[in-house]
Amino acid sequence: MRCERCGRDYTPACPVHGADDAERASLPPVEATPLAGATLSGRYVIRGVLGRGAMGTVYLASDLRGPAPWVAVKMLDDDRSDDERARLRLEASVGARVEHDNVLRYLDSGEAESGAPFVVVELLVGETLGERLRREQTLPIDAAIQLFRRVADGLAAVHAAGIVHRDVKPDNIFLVGPAGDATNVKIVDFGLAKHDRSTDEVRDGVVAGTCDFMAPEQALSDPVDARTDVYALGLTMFRALTGVLPFSSSDRVVTMARQIAEPAPRASTLAPGLAGLDAVLQAALRKSPGNRYRSMRALAHDLARLERGDRLSGAHLLGALGDVYVPRTATGKVAAAYFYTRLGLAPPF
């Protein structure tokens, strides 16, 4: 017989998915792997490949001792550097500090017999917000408000644990459930996260993150905090509601320059039905961190008010005028001056 999910011939049961049709139907599709059947830490049995990234592979595994029979295992390739291995271990440590219904659960970590480090996380079935937006372009307004209120709640819990995610974007927001019909949302991928006890500071001139979703301070390698994630979530909401990013360019340098120097357009100029969300988006996307929502919790509260049809709290009025990002480091000042020049503008500081 042939397994309809991975294409492997089997007798009497597929070595990846087993023989139970109902269970196979509930699992995401996987590719065959030579590691199928290998056991990690005497507990996690590799069954197939869920996906591959630049630095490693994500596997479907069965957990011989856990409360959930299936988990996902993210394993680095054997040839990764010591810095990359340390980053994965830090990701596992950071992720394990947060427990919230809207945040991916990090369950365990260890090393394979080859020495490759791995982390174990809960298995999610569904699609990322990025995948859905590439298919459907935008979200309905009511669904978007509910979804992003949950994301903001999850990020507020992340920040309460002393962590800044640093890579909030549609591809790191997972919609749990059938494609197009999510029943829950999870924030995933803490690979770039920064926590308050970490000595992992971004080196001068080194930018960590995704440029389309970077706050000005992140683009300039200035210190980041929870308000950096507020800005990134504002960009994510803008993209999901309008179908476009406010500062995107085919030239990444221009994108970063616009993040630093240009005010965000009002979403309602692109989609008139979004007038009720303009104030929230504008407050999330202000250049100076002090002019944004003071916390992710404040943003979550305003999204909850919109969800109920109530008036906003007034938190969105902070810093509505004179919004300019002033670099906080010498390196940031030099970089900002270059970016302003790239746009044909004189630096205002």
Catalytically annotated residues: 167
Query: Is the preceding omega at residue 12 within 30 degrees of 0, hence cis?
Result: yes
C-alpha distances (whole Å) from 237 to each of 30, 56, 139, 331 are 31, 29, 9, 30
C-alpha distances (whole Å) from 339 to each of 234, 264, 327, 344 are 22, 17, 12, 9
Per DSSP, the three-state class of 81 is coil
Asked if 257 contacts 339 with a C-beta cutoff of 8 angstroms, the reply is yes
List of E strands, 53-129:
56-63, 70-76, 106-111, 117-122, 126-128
**Angstrom distance (rounded) from CA 125 to CA 174:** 9
C-alpha distances (whole Å) from 200 to each of 40, 91, 163, 191, 226 are 28, 12, 12, 12, 16
CA 110 to chain CA centroid, nearest Å: 23
Per DSSP, the three-state class of 149 is helix
Angle between helices 330-342 and 252-261 (to 10 degrees): 110
31 bridge partner residues: 49
Asked if 187 contacts 151 with a C-beta cutoff of 8 angstroms, the reply is yes
Asked if 50 contacts 30 with a C-beta cutoff of 8 angstroms, the reply is yes
Dihedral (CA of 187, 193, 195, 197) sign: positive
